[in-house]
Amino acid sequence: MKFGFTLGACVLLSFPVLAQSTGEKNSANSTRAVSTSTSDFVTKAAQSDMFEIQSSKLAEKEAGAAVETFASQMVADHTKTTAQLKAFAQKDAIPLPSGMNSLQKSMLANLKGLHGNWFARQYLNDQVTAHRSAVSLFRRYAEGGDNPDLKAWAAQTLPALEHHLAMAEPLDNKFTSR
pLDDT in tens, 9-52: 343 333 333 333 333 334 444 444 455 789 999 999 999 999 99
Range of the domain at 147: 36-176
pLDDT tens digits for range 98-157 = 999 999 999 999 999 999 889 989 999 999 999 999 999 999 999 999 999 999 999 999
In a domain, 81, yes or no: yes
3-state SS assignment for residue 27: helix
Query: What's the confidence (pLDDT) of residue 169?
Result: 83
CATH number of the domain where residue 140 is located: 1.20.1260.10
Concatenate the DSSP letters of all residues of 121-165 into one string. HHHHHHHHHHHHHHHHHHHHHHHH-S-HHHHHHHHHHHHHHHHHH
Query: Is 20 inside any structural domain?
Result: no
Q: What pLDDT sits at residue 14?
A: 37
In a domain, 13, yes or no: no
Is the entire prediction scored with pTM above 0.85? no
User: How many domains would you assign to the chain?
Assistant: 1
pLDDT of res. 127? 92
On whether residue 148 sits in a domain, the answer given is: yes
pLDDT tens digits, 53-104: 999 999 998 887 878 989 999 999 999 999 999 999 999 899 999 999 999 9
**Rounded to an integer, what distance in angstroms lies between the CA atom of residue 87 and that of residue 17?**
40
Specify if 44 maps to a domain. yes
